[in-house]
Structure formats: structure tokens, C-alpha cells
């Protein structure tokens, strides 16, 4: 079980040390399916830690894990608000890379969590992630067999 706050601290604290951050205090998280207990727990941890750290965390959800158009629309809307950081758990690699590339072009600190974006795919698209948090489930599966 994810302990609320730990994940947010792990994700956001490194952003305070990035040199290309915006002046405001908004950290935006674009997550996957609203009804999934994993993402609800993640959101609870984000909100708890945001209160402790006195930052503004905005959390956006998708109705399901396949809502690519909705997620891309949310991303574009958020980028227009120029947050300090945008962290996405993309519903697919294409949406994630497009979103992060647009945010990076605006000077927003970008990160991805628990999604399908590979560093090599991001680099090939000209995206330099400030951080990525997740597990390699294929590697984990190999290690337990």
C-alpha cells in the first residue's frame, strides 16, 4: 500500500532544486482513471503533502485509462496556466510525449510517473524529463520467475 505523502515528497521535492522553474507555486498532476483505488491513494498523498509543504497541487483525472483526447486537452489547458511543474501519468506514450514537449517548450518543469513513456522515446522526441518515477514491471516479472 502506498503511504500518503511519501510519493508526493519523492516527486515534488526535487522540483524545488530545478533551475528552470516558474515563479508561481502550482504543481499540476494529470493522473489516470478517477475510479482506480491506486490513483485515489496517489491523489490523497499528493493533497496531504501539498498541505504540509504549503504548495498548490492541482490534480486532474481521466474517466478511464483510455481517455487520450481528454488527457491531452487537460494538458493543453494546464500549460496555458503556466504552472511551476507538470507531472503526468500518461494514458499512452503519444499523449505523454506530446504533453510534455509542449510544457517543456514553455519552460515548465516536467516529470512523468508510472506511465508508458520511456526515456529513449522522450529523448527521440526532444523531451528532457526532469524526473521519472515508476517501476519496470517487465523486469520485476523476470526477477520473480
| Mean pLDDT of all residues belonging to the chain | 84
Which fold does the domain 24-144 belong to in CATH? Rossmann fold (3.40.50)
- Mean pLDDT throughout 104-109? 96
pLDDT tens digits for range 17-60: 443 444 478 999 999 988 899 999 999 999 999 999 999 999 99
Does the pLDDT of residue 98 top 90, yes or no? yes
Q: Are 8 and 48 in contact (CB under 8 A)?
A: yes
Report helix, strand and coil shares of the chain as percent, to nearest 5.
Answer: 50, 20, 35
**How would you list the strands of the sheet with 56-62, edge to edge?**
56-62, 26-33, 85-88, 109-113, 131-133
pLDDT score for 46? 94
pLDDT score for 4? 45
pLDDT score for 92? 92
Cα–Cα nearest to 113, from 125, 126, 100, 98: 100
In eight-state DSSP terms, residue 113 is E
Amino acid at each position: 500500500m502506498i503511504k500518503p505523502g511519501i510519493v508526493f515528497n519523492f516527486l515534488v521535492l526535487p522540483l524545488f532544486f530545478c533551475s528552470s522553474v516558474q515563479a508561481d507555486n502550482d504543481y499540476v498532476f494529470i493522473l489516470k482513471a478517477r475510479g482506480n483505488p491506486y490513483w485515489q491513494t496517489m491523489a490523497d498523498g499528493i493533497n496531504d503533502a501539498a498541505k504540509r509543504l504549503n504548495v498548490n497541487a492541482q490534480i486532474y483525472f481521466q474517466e478511464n485509462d483510455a481517455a487520450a483526447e481528454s488527457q491531452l486537452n487537460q494538458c493543453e489547458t494546464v500549460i496555458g496556466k503556466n504552472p511551476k511543474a507538470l507531472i503526468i501519468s500518461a494514458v499512452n506514450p503519444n499523449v505523454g510525449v506530446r504533453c510534455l514537449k509542449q510544457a517543456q517548450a514553455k519552460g515548465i518543469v516536467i516529470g512523468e510517473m508510472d506511465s508508458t513513456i520511456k526515456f529513449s522515446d522522450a529523448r527521440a522526441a526532444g523531451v528532457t524529463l526532469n524526473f521519472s518515477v515508476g517501476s519496470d514491471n517487465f523486469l520485476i516479472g523476470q526477477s520473480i520467475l
